[in-house]
């Protein structure tokens, strides 16, 4: 088969495959709820309950505390979140009671819980469908907060298809055999998205999350166009840093939906960045190992390895194009109707 026809066949095969799975391929797969409650000295507890999607089946309960009123919706100005104000009456202190999130599962997978006790101390925990309850401690150090937000960072990068495709694109741009350069480029990408993530999380910068997601999709298209282009692989660190600043806004949007625990913002923010980096490095290792396995199976034949790179490049460009058009159309539609 002539090279031109092979290339055309590869493009159409990847294009059709990507567009068949694209409607179900999300940029971010985390569906995290956030509960923040504050205890008063009279046993009255007020809280904010934030959901990524509307659901009356997923609700928090506190052991020995009755809900004073039904959850009332509150508009937080973000289309992607649904925020409710809830109130509880407890006979005694909150410390030692169990917090439970009922209904966690497919729709809402986990919930970040933050408790502010009347003595001024705070505690937080992450609940999931296999860990639905938590006993509120009298005091909590920064280490549990660090561990839980690091886990959220790992989960976010590993469920963020757009970020993972960008990392794959960087590896393909550099070349799988240039391990040292891959490590340096990944470090530059991490540094860049950590800067913008921190700036947004600390309130120094405000960016539309949907606009950020649409621009992230555009970085995939631009990166795919660079792969294999003569001279493009000479400056991968610059590419990773510039585009990493954009990806940081996407990470910030996810972290904004989760929320940062007051009184432990610094360790939580640092931990989330560390978790993202760990998940990113794990994905790079998987990519390199996958190419090594194909190399060994192919022995002296270089075509399977080259074909894997070609399909990867077309997948990045096709999905990036789909997401870019989809997200920008949603953004423009919102602007026209606002």
Q: What is the DSSP string of 170-236?
A: HHHHH-TT-HHHHHHHHHHHHHHHHHHHHHHHTTS----HHHHHHHHHHHHHHHHHHTT-TTGGG-H
User: Taking residues 215-219, what's their average pLDDT?
Assistant: 89
Residues 262, 211 contacting (CB under 8 angstroms): no
Residue 320 in 3-state DSSP?
Answer: helix
283-332: pLDDT as tens digits: 999 999 988 888 888 777 778 888 888 888 888 989 989 988 888 887 77
Confidence of residue 47 (pLDDT cuts 50, 70, 90): confident
pLDDT of residue 2: 41
User: Taking residues 255-261, what's their average pLDDT?
Assistant: 66
What domains are there in the chain, each with its CATH number? 32-140 (2.60.40), 153-337 (no CATH)
User: Taking residues 229-251, what's their average pLDDT?
Assistant: 83
Q: Which helix (H) or strand (E) holds 259?
A: none
Q: What is the pTM of this model?
A: 0.67
Average pLDDT, the chain: 78
Count of other CB atoms within 10 angstroms of residue 96: 12
pLDDT of residue 112: 82
Between 281 and 303, where is the model more confident? 281
58-107: pLDDT as tens digits: 888 888 888 776 555 554 444 446 788 888 888 888 888 888 888 887 77
Which value, to the nearest 10 degrees, does the dihedral of the CA atoms of residues 250, 110, 93, 115 take? -10
Residues 81, 50 contacting (CB under 8 angstroms): yes
**Number of Cα atoms under 13 Å in the Cβ half of residue 143:** 1
Between 125 and 180, where is the model more confident? 180
């Amino acid at each position: 088969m002539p090279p031109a026809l092979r290339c055309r066949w590869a493009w159409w095969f990847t294009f059709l495959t990507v567009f068949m799975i694209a409607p179900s391929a999300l940029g971010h797969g985390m569906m995290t709820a956030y509960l923040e409650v504050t205890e008063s000295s009279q046993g009255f507890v007020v809280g904010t309950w934030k959901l990524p999607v509307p659901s009356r089946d997923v609700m928090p309960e506190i052991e020995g505390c009755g809900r004073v009123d039904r959850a009332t919706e509150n508009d937080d100005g973000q289309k992607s979140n649904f925020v409710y104000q809830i109130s509880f009456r407890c006979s005694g202190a909150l410390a030692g009671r169990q917090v439970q999130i009922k209904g966690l599962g497919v729709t809402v997978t986990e919930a970040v819980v933050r408790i502010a006790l009347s003595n001024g101390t705070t505690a937080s925990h992450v609940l999931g469908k296999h860990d639905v309850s938590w006993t509120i401690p009298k005091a909590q150090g920064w280490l549990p907060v660090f561990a839980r937000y690091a886990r959220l960072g790992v989960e976010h990068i590993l469920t963020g298809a757009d970020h993972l495709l960008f990392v794959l694109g960087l590896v393909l741009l550099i070349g799988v055999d240039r391990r040292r350069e891959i490590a340096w480029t990944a470090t530059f990408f991490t540094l860049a998205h950590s800067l913008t993530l921190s700036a947004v999380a600390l309130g120094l910068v405000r960016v539309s999350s949907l606009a950020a997601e649409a621009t992230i999709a555009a970085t995939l298209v631009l990166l795919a166009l660079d792969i294999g282009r003569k001279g493009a692989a000479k400056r991968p660190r610059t590419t990773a840093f510039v585009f990493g600043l954009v990806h940081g806004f996407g990470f910030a949007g996810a972290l904004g939906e989760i929320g940062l625990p007051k009184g432990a913002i610094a360790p939580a923010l640092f931990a989330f960045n560390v978790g993202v980096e760990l998940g990113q490095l794990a994905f790079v290792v998987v990519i390199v190992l996958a190419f090594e396995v194909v190399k060994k199976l192919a022995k002296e034949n270089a075509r399977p390895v080259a074909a894997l790179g070609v399909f990867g490049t077309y997948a990045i460009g096709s999905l990036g194009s789909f997401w870019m058009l989809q997200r920008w159309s949603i953004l423009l539609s919102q602007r026209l109707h606002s």
